[in-house]
Structure 1
Amino acid sequence: MTNRKKHSLKVLAELNNALNLIEESDLSAFSSDSMQNSAELEIKEAEGLLGRCANELNGNTKPKLRIIHHLACSGGTLISKCLSALPNVYLLSEVHPHTGLAVDLDKPRYSPTDITSLAKYAKIPFSNELADKIFKQSIISAYEHVESLGGTLVLRDHTHADFNTWSVIPQRSRVVSLLEENFNIQSILTVRDPIDAYSSLVKNGWVHFEPKSFDEYCRRLLLLLEQFSSDQIFSYELLSSEPQTQVAAICHRLDLQFDETFENIFSLFKVTGDSGRKSDVISERERIAPQAIIEESENSPFYQKYKEKYYVTN
């Protein structure tokens, strides 16, 4: 046994003894609210120390951070609302360090809290490097704040910015690459049949890549899928038909507390990117893709590759 582990075991034993003494004490015996609050605070701090010490013994020196990924118009808003409805979960929607989609340098918008955009408007040199630093520190601060309140932070990566814009497609998610040094990242990817997702993308005017073809969309989707293992990938179609089973499976993969009542309240949560369904009931959706895109899919080599490797609902 290493000296570090011996020391950790000793500390853990001492903390356990201290916590037992605190828990066995009668808080009602304290004469003032301030003294009782102080005792309760000691318990909370001791429990936190126990948890950190246990993590050290298990080799988990970095805190766990959950991230969900999906392309635009692929059902991401629905899963984001479902996760937001889980106990003590706080979801930051569509995060990204420096996507050009958010900034129009010719028409600066009022954004007093968005230092990254203001830096671009000010033409500060190497603004993307600055954006990375601001983003990373902001997520760390948000994580620590939420954790101190007993909550769980979940990030919704704006995956569209990495894979469906004019920017060079990264080898890995930019959000993950920035945060993995400080966090133990747990990720999932949700996907929707490309025919429906691309049709919705065209309808909303969000085709930000060239060429603007369905085949190119599928090529980019395949590059995204290659970054995830099969147990990290979840289907929007299955989520729509089996919400309880699929959300439970996602919770298991992300180590979140599942609560079957999420279906009753998911529609109450507001997130960015809410361009799709407005119903407060989760149900399967009919295909509304135009005939032209359906015909294009029949001649798409990359869509055929997608169908060979991944399940597609018809």
Structure 2
Amino acid sequence: MSAPTDPQALLARIEDARALLNTHDHQKALTPRLADPLPSLIQQCRSLSEEAAQVEAEPVRCLHHFACTGGTLMARYLAVQPNTILLSEIDPLSRLHIDGEPPRFAPTDLIQHLRYSPREIPQEVIGDVFLAGLAPLLADCRGRGRRLVLRDHAHSQFCHGDAPQDRPTLRALLMRRYPVRSVVTVRHPLDAYLSLSNNNWLHFTPGTLDEYARRTLAFLDAHEGVEIFRYEDFLAAPDPHLRNICKVLDLPFAGVQAELVALMPLTGDSGRGGQGLQSRPRRPVPDDIAAAARTSKRYISLCDRLKYDPAPESGTGGSAGP
């Protein structure tokens, strides 16, 4: 059995302990981890979400051009680059094949059904539906290390009807929610116009070279600041020009893979085909169009802007024009 404790000594020790407990600074010093409350679970989640938002989001890549400018061929060469997914002829606000036509069977096309609604759906809502639909695709691309490229269908907006449609471009629409990397590709305006005429795709009025030049200038203005690549330059030196396009779009580059391009199906193929990446002589220029090429201020201004010779007697048509 232990020896009896001195009562006076025990009382002194108890008083010391009580004094220590009553001293806030000593309490905090003895228990520093308990001095401040732990952050709530909600706050921790909010902090993690804010940190994630600071990580640069994967951009949507865009390829913008007019019909009959070699766009399909150039898009094919982009589509076969590693880990690249390219969707062809995208314009969620297009009304082609909608206005004045009966509803068509389209069980997978939600936006088309919104257009058919007898109660008008606002254009802003249709744009939001499109943007929301991209979200899971972009998330899947990020998870798989893939890049998404959208090939525009600018013809719907700029080359259809009495005037270019006053609405957001695909690029402007995407930029409301996502970072965007874009390039514009062009072809000599005279060659492109002749190809449109040959295909009966002059869907604007008046269907003149001057009017085509006006609409092309409006397209370029709507994409001001976006880097421009000329189709003829691509034909002359495919590898360096494709490399530069991939650099602007932040796409992996594995070279010009002609054997794979032939296996890549895309909509919008209007080209003559058959000779690969080769320039061809310009189509015969009718006298009235040749005269317009010499006198149209808009056409001459457009050629000057894109650094083309406006003379109707010069130039080559390229392999894509029909």
Q: TM-score, normalised by structure 2?
A: 0.74
Between the two proteins, what is the percent identity of the paired residues?
A: 33
- Contact 2:189–2:213 (8 Å) recurs in 1: yes
Between the aligned partners of 1:82 and 1:297, the Cα distance in structure 2 is 32
Alpha-carbon distance, 1:203 to partner: 1.5
CA contact (8 A) 1:70 1:159 kept: yes
Q: Deviations over 1:24-51 (max 9, x none)?
A: xxxxxxxxxxxxxxxxxxxxxxxxx9xx
Matched, 1:107 2:102: yes
Q: Quick check: 1:238 aligned with 2:233? A: yes
Larger proportion of helix: 1
Distance in 1, matches of 2:150 and 2:246, equals: 14
Aligned residues: 261
Q: Which ranges in structure 1 are unaligned for 5 or more consecutive residues? A: 1-48
Residue from 116, 119, 126 that aligns with 1:121: 116
Moved more, 220-229 or 183-192: 220-229
1:297 and 2:293 correspond? yes
Q: Check whether the contact 1:163–1:224 (CA below 8 A) recurs between aligned residues.
A: yes
Residue 54 of structure 2: which of 56, 70, 80 is its match? 56
Structure 1 contact 219–302 (Cα < 8 Å) conserved: yes
2:269 is equivalent to residue 274 of structure 1: yes
Whether the 8 Å CA contact 2:87–2:149 is kept in 1: the answer is yes
Specify whether residues 168 and 300 from structure 1 end up closer, same or farther in structure 2 by C-alpha distance, changes over 3 A only.
closer
Q: 1:190 aligns with which of 167, 185, 194?
A: 185
Residues 1:100 and 1:170: Cα distance change in structure 2 (over 3 Å): closer
> Does the 8 A contact of 1:68 with 1:154 survive in 2?
yes
C-alpha distance in 2 between matches for 1:289 and 1:54: 58
**Aligned-residue CA RMSD in angstroms?**
2.5
- Displacement, 1:206? 1.6
Unaligned 5+ runs, structure 2: 1-47, 310-314, 316-322
Report the Cα offset of residue 202 of structure 1. Answer: 1.3
Write out per-residue CA displacement over residues 139-180 of structure 1, whole angstroms, 9 at most, x where no aligned residue: 222222222222110011111112112275367852122211
Q: Does 1:92 align with 2:87?
A: yes
Matching of residue 308 in structure 1 with residue 304 in structure 2 = yes
Alpha carbons 2:193, 2:212 under 8 Å: kept: yes
Hey, what's the Cα distance between the residues in 1 that align with 2:128 and 2:153? 18
Cα 1:121–1:273, aligned 2, differ >3 Å: closer, same or farther?
A: same
* Inter-CA distance 109–227: structure 2 relative to 1 (3 Å threshold): closer
From the superposition, tell whether residues 127 and 102 of structure 1 become closer, same or farther in structure 2 (CA, over 3 Å): farther
Distance of aligned partners of 1:108 and 1:217 in 2 relative to their CA distance in 1, 3 Å threshold: same
- Contact 1:97–1:135 (Cα < 8 Å) also in 2: yes
Residue pair 1:119, 1:127 contacting (<8 A) in 2 also: no
Question: Highest CA radius of gyration, 1 or 2?
Answer: 2
Corresponding residue for 2:140?
Answer: 145
Measured against aligned partners, the alpha-carbon deviations of 1:40-78 in whole angstroms (never above 9, x if no partner) come to xxxxxxxxx9xx969836xx3x43111010001111101
Work out the CA distance in 2 between the residues paired with 1:136 and 1:206: 29
What is the correspondence of 1:1-314 to structure 2 with a 5 Å cutoff? Answer: 56=54, 60=56, 62-103=57-98, 105-126=100-121, 128-166=123-161, 169=164, 173-228=168-223, 232-279=227-274, 281-292=276-287, 293-312=289-308, 314=315
Give the superposition deviation at 1:231.
Answer: 6.7
C-alpha deviation, 1:229, in angstroms: 5.3
Q: Give the 3-state SS of the residue equivalent to 2:233 in structure 1.
A: helix
266-275 or 115-124, which deviates more? 115-124
1: CA distance between counterparts of 2:122 and 2:262?
A: 37
Structure 2 CA distance for aligned equivalents of residues 279 and 53 of structure 1: 52
In structure 2, how many angstroms separate the alpha carbons of the residues matched to 1:309 and 1:116? Answer: 36
- Aligned equivalents of 2:112, 2:141: Cα separation in 1: 25
Displacement, 1:261?
Answer: 4.3
Q: 1:235 to 1:98 in 2, by over 3 A?
A: same
Higher mean Cα deviation, 79-88 or 198-207? Answer: 198-207
- Relative to structure 1, is the Cα distance of residues 302 and 66 closer, same or farther in structure 2, using a 3 angstrom cutoff? same
- How far apart are residue 108 of structure 1 and its match? 2.1
For the structure 1 residues 238 and 55, does the alpha-carbon distance in structure 2 shift closer, same or farther, using more than 3 Å as the test? farther
Distance 1:239 1:53, change over 3 A: farther
CA change 1:234–1:55 in 2 (3 A) is farther
The alpha carbon displacement at 1:220 in A equals 1.2
The verdict on how the C-alpha distance between 1:249 and 1:173 changes in structure 2, with shifts beyond 3 A counting, is farther
